[in-house]
Structure 1
Amino acid sequence: MQISDLPYADPGVPDARSGPRFLWWLGRNQPAGQLKSLAWGLLHFAAVMSLPFGVGLAVQAVVERSGARLAVAGLLLVLSGVGIALGDTMLHRTAVTNWITAAARVQQLLARRTAYLGAALTRRVAAGEVVAVSTGDVEKIGWFVEAVSRFTAAALTVVLVCVGLVLYQPDLGLVVAIGMPLVGLGVLPLLPRATRLADAQREKAGKATELASDTVAGLRVLRGIGGEDLFLDRYRRASQDVRRAAVRSARMWSLITAVQVLLPGLLLIAVVWHGLGLVRDGRITVGELVTVYSAVMLLGYPLRHFEEIAMAYSFSRPSAKRAARVLSLERGTAEAPGSRAPGAAAGGTASGAAAPTGDLCDPATGLLAPEGCLTAVVCGDPDEAGRLAERLGGHAAFDTPAPSVRLGGTQLDSLPLAAARAAVLVQDKDPVLLSGTLRELLDVPASGKVSVADALTAAECSDVLDALAQNSVDDDPMEAPITERGRSLSGGQRQRLALARSLVTDPEVLVLDEPTSAVDSHTEARIADGLRALRRGRTTVVCTSSPLLLDRAERVAFVHEGEVAAVGVHRELVHTHPRYRAVVTRETDAEVTRDTDAEVTRDTDAVVIRDTDEEPQHRAGGEPGSGDPTQVGMAGRGLEIEETA
């Protein structure tokens, strides 16, 4: 795999059971690059380690005044220089290729998993952690993957040199062969503590990154409540914790480096001391001593890769663990982690099959959204509304064995991702606007039946277009720039543009979670009319507690404690169901209790509304809910509903 071939057509299905398994999987998936790096590394290290033999041969040739041997030594040195240059150049090239391709594979996997999970991702993993994994952690994972081949080449070189020295000069070669394992493995007792300190540093750095990311995302809110100093102080403390952890980790790695300098130095002293004795006794020549001495000196170069691989593993292991955690998350509870690649066919549905149609049914709550109907859903708990919208999009809850949502009898979470997204589009309560122009924002996959102009009109974006036109060079709002996450716009403007984007898409089923929570009541009423008109004949589900939207809905379902408690139309439910009325009119718990206690079986002939402190004042006939809607909410506010004969 070359850098020019990126991105991968298919990055594969990762082994995300643990961090080390994920690292091993990455290494196994680029065998060609690893073998190339190993081969060039062997050439480079072998050329470096051939220098001592050339130098020793040259010294001995000078001592013996042999011009032929001196010429051979010079030729050997030239060949060594060429090998060093060529090997180093190609080793660097292949190593960087391995690094970048491994990092690119991880980034593709993370991007694919993020798109696969959608809004469900941030329910299990903080947004700051996702940012940390996809930036700094990716680099450290790539570092370890590419360092493996260089370390292997260095280790093989050390073994070959030791064997060669034993064969070349047994007396000194045995000293080197015995001392070299001690030198290479002498730092092992220090590595566990160094790894723990590196893990602690990475953990603190990840938390600091999460804090910074969350602070930037909520900067406007912090400025509104005057909380900048508080969060700045929190980040300052987190930053200092990272600094202290980094200093402790650096001290340990400095000790490891010092040990790796000290031990080869002691081995070199032992070799020189023993070698001088052998030269004095005439058992070896001066050239042979120079050769062994130079070889031991240069062995420090490949030995440095032992330290590097230990550092790379220490820093990449927690990074790989975090990446594996994200990659192991699944859409539904029925799937085992890594059992199916995102987008793969499942449940007998071909990836190219048409999106299913029909009624949308959630067995977990009993919610039914009839095909072609505008259905509003009221939940007493806003978080419950968000989870319901997520589940309606085919993303089953992670921590509860909820059955899959069905669209026309087809389980959504068993569909390929593309088919599920084509069938149901979910817009959560905090939609994200990507940076670019408005034209680029609205350039999304669509059916072609809804024009951009119609979608903007239905979402009441006229004033947004006027504001954008002022920021455009040629007064064209479609070419006006939109900053990252739409931070240059107000909350209501962002919300309406996101709604227009969803309407342009024109999916078979559109699920909206509080699409008008940031707009005023007049605009909300016009959006409700536009939404109903534009989506006529298409299935639309709106999770909201706004009376204006509820009044325009063809069907309203009230979800209480995870189940559908009532179904009807807004004006009926607001008169007959106290808990529904409490959510819509924002009644207190005490008022809800009084309303519930006051509910009686009503006869269709007459009911009397009697003040609890005075005599009966007003009598009205007819069915419940037929009175003036402005009287809604009187029960429980000092009034009592009582059945009469």
Structure 2
Amino acid sequence: MAENDAPPPQPPTPEPTRSTVRSLLRLWTYARPIRWYMTAAIIAALLASGAVLVVPLVLGRIVDGPIGHHDSAALWPLVGLLLLLGLAEAGLFGLRRVLVARPLARVEAAMRRDLYAKLQRLPVAFHDRWPSGQLLSRATSDMYTLRLFLAFPLVFLIVNSLMFLGGSVLMLALDWRLGLITLVPAIPLVLICTRFETGYSAAARTAQDQNGDLATVLEESVLGIRILKSFGRQRTMARHFREQADLLRTTEIRKSFMLADLWAVIVGLPELALGAALATGAVLVAHDELSVGTLVAFLSTALALRWPVESLGWLLAYSNEASTAADRFFDVMDTPEEPEPTAAAHRTDGDGIRLRDVRFRYPDAPADSPDLLRGIDLHIRRGETMALVGATGSGKTTLTALLPRLYDTTGGTITLGGQDIARLPLSRLRELVAVAFEDPTLFSATVRENVLMGAPEAGPAALERALATAQAGFVHQLPQGLDTEVGEQGQSLSGGQRQRLALARAVVGDPEFLVLDDPLSALDVHTEALVEQALREVLAGTTALVVAHRPSTVLLADRVAVLAEGRILAVGTHQELLDGCPAYRELMSGESGLDDLEKNVLERSSAR
């Protein structure tokens, strides 16, 4: 992030006008490879539901037949048929689970893999805007929600709908009068469910976003635990976490109330209709207009349809959860990636690094704010090392981030070795340019893996040379040497050790172009001198831009560029700028807070 950046805003929330069905249909891309498994699972569930609907007919036959005629011999085959129907139902529902379990695990893995790959391809500006907790929740809880939807709610939305349709036809066939009485609640239920879907979708999206915010707070608390403990701010962060958790709890309770209201209607209206049908059926039986067995079959069918009707609320609620999870997933997947060149790179000028009229502003900057970088013109000759100095907030870090295209320029051109970086494939560009940032980032991996991230093909000799250049011999004293896990963010190492490993990672591949953002800031004076001595050999074989704050780092460079208010104020040797640039003298003077040792270095360099 830039030195003068404001905290990143929350990711955008989608427009309230949306379609649950349209959001869920976008999952077809991932569900298509397992469509035959899903079809088989739906068929198995339909057959199981069909077995459930056959049971009332068998019961009616038992009542009107063996029981009505006191024929026990005819009873046992029908009882055996009921047992077979029960076993078939249980077996088919079990088969449904077996059919989809493994394929849906592959779908979840594929979606999570694609999401992670997408995050790697998205520009740094995207990651500046999105809190990490929001991305984490999309890759974990949202993926689980989508897998569960495909495994259960999707199947039973189809199966239960067809079962309700089949049961309704059966009830009307048994007695149209009782059937109409029982089906009357369907009309208000459709209207109520439509209204429920609109409100619940918004609440579900809010809850998922709040869950992402909560994950962000938790992640920041864990990563910043040393700071929190050092300043005694555990209670402050705990209060912040509690506030976020309370917001999520309030939203979840509101969702529960909405679902409870729907469930009361879904359960209550059919029960009233069933009671009315039972009373009417009893009257019809009393007047010999309906047999007892038919009434039993009708009531058994109506009771068998309780599950499809009562499950409607839960299925609708989960479908809305899944649709908002799908929206959140595709919010990321639909984000434009870093643009790749449309034409082959070609040489436009001499070797080295050249910036022509380069301008830059962050995408989220206010429209009326000035550019952070305004017309940068700079030429670093091939094999030359140039130091970049400037006050805090002048744009030094931002400028270094433009060379590997972590950000794209707002205007102007940058060429490396005569090639326009806008026309270079990003993979090739980042092979040419190696970067070491002031704030070193290490991963939960071994020392070897962290350093070789800069050049995976580098051999043991190159690895040892890079460690020697960065004065990182301490790694051989670690418990497992180069195979020691450094822990999350490299917290098991000191700041200077992390910085040295980051420097080794930058130089291990002998890059053609090297960008170092104040790479020695965390080192003690003795180690800094050793690193500088070894680094001179590396810099002699590359073209480098080095952000410097100390005179000792400046002395590594052949020339120095002074950056002020987004422009290059002056370029020259260290001595030339001391003699002719007041701003540079101020930066290098005691007024900037240099200690006595650095003043002595400055005085000795000036005397030379």
Q: Normalising by the residue count of structure 1, what TM-score does the alignment of the two structures yield?
A: 0.76
Offset of residue 112 of structure 1: 0.8
Offset of residue 137 of structure 1: 2.5
Q: Which of 527, 530, 537 is matched with 1:526 structurally?
A: 530
Q: 1:203 to 1:395 in 2, by over 3 A?
A: same
Q: 1:295 to 1:479 in 2, by over 3 A?
A: same
Can you list the C-alpha shifts for 1:529-561, whole angstroms capped at 9, x where unaligned?
Answer: 322312432233323323222211234333333
Offset of residue 309 of structure 1: 3.1
Counterpart in 2 of 1:501?
Answer: 505
Indicate whether 1:254 and 2:288 are aligned. no
Secondary structure at the counterpart of residue 155 of structure 1: helix
Counterpart in 2 of 1:513?
Answer: 517
Offset of residue 479 of structure 1: 3.2
Offset of residue 346 of structure 1: 4.9
Q: Is the 8 A contact 1:389 1:428 kept in 2?
A: no
Indicate whether 1:86 and 2:59 are aligned. no
Can you list the C-alpha shifts for 1:544-591, whole angstroms capped at 9, x where unaligned?
Answer: 3232222112343333333333222333224322333444447479xx
Q: Is the 8 A contact 1:143 1:312 kept in 2?
A: no
Q: 1:158 to 1:523 in 2, by over 3 A?
A: same
Separation (CA, whole Å) in 2 of partners of 1:59 and 1:370: 99
Secondary structure at the counterpart of residue 553 of structure 1: coil
Q: 1:138 to 1:368 in 2, by over 3 A?
A: farther
- Decide which moves more: 18-27 or 241-250: 18-27
Indicate whether 1:386 and 2:397 are aligned. yes
Indicate whether 1:543 and 2:547 are aligned. yes
Letter in 1 for 2:561: A
Q: 1:283 to 1:426 in 2, by over 3 A?
A: farther
Separation (CA, whole Å) in 1 of partners of 2:96 and 2:531: 62
Secondary structure at the counterpart of residue 377 of structure 1: strand
Separation (CA, whole Å) in 1 of partners of 2:543 and 2:452: 22
1:194-593 alignment, distance < 5 Å: 194-332=200-338, 335=339, 346-348=341-343, 359-363=352-356, 364=358, 365-382=376-393, 384-397=395-408, 401-402=410-411, 405-412=414-421, 415-444=424-453, 445-448=455-458, 451-463=462-474, 465-466=476-477, 468=478, 472=479, 476-585=480-589, 587=591
1:148-167 alignment, distance < 5 Å: 148-167=154-173
Q: 1:629 to 1:520 in 2, by over 3 A?
A: closer
Separation (CA, whole Å) in 1 of partners of 2:27 and 2:591: 57
Q: Is the 8 A contact 1:460 1:496 kept in 2?
A: yes
Between the two proteins, the alignment pairs up a number of residues equal to 555
Counterpart in 2 of 1:592?
Answer: none
Letter in 2 for 1:359: G
Q: Is the 8 A contact 2:123 2:407 kept in 1?
A: no
Q: Is the 8 A contact 2:387 2:546 kept in 1?
A: yes
- Decide which moves more: 375-384 or 46-55: 375-384
Counterpart in 2 of 1:134?
Answer: 139
Separation (CA, whole Å) in 1 of partners of 2:98 and 2:428: 42
Q: 1:67 to 1:411 in 2, by over 3 A?
A: farther
Secondary structure at the counterpart of residue 482 of structure 1: coil
Mark the runs of 5 or more structure 2 residues left unpaired by the alignment.
Answer: 1-13, 359-375, 594-600
Separation (CA, whole Å) in 2 of partners of 1:19 and 1:412: 42
Letter in 2 for 1:347: T
Q: Is the 8 A contact 1:27 1:145 kept in 2?
A: no
Q: 1:309 to 1:221 in 2, by over 3 A?
A: same
Letter in 1 for 2:25: W
Secondary structure at the counterpart of residue 579 of structure 2: helix
Separation (CA, whole Å) in 2 of partners of 1:169 and 1:118: 66
Can you list the C-alpha shifts for 1:33-92, whole angstroms capped at 9, x where unaligned?
Answer: 443443333233223333222322333322245678756644643443243223212322
Separation (CA, whole Å) in 1 of partners of 2:53 and 2:411: 64
Q: Is the 8 A contact 2:577 2:585 kept in 1?
A: yes
Secondary structure at the counterpart of residue 506 of structure 1: coil
Separation (CA, whole Å) in 1 of partners of 2:85 and 2:503: 68
Separation (CA, whole Å) in 2 of partners of 1:371 and 1:43: 75
Offset of residue 458 of structure 1: 0.7
Offset of residue 239 of structure 1: 2.4
Offset of residue 456 of structure 1: 0.9
Letter in 2 for 1:487: Q
Mark the runs of 5 or more structure 1 residues left unpaired by the alignment.
Answer: 1-15, 336-344, 590-627, 634-645
Separation (CA, whole Å) in 2 of partners of 1:383 and 1:198: 44
Letter in 1 for 2:342: G
Indicate whether 1:110 and 2:119 are aligned. no
Counterpart in 1 of 2:181?
Answer: 175
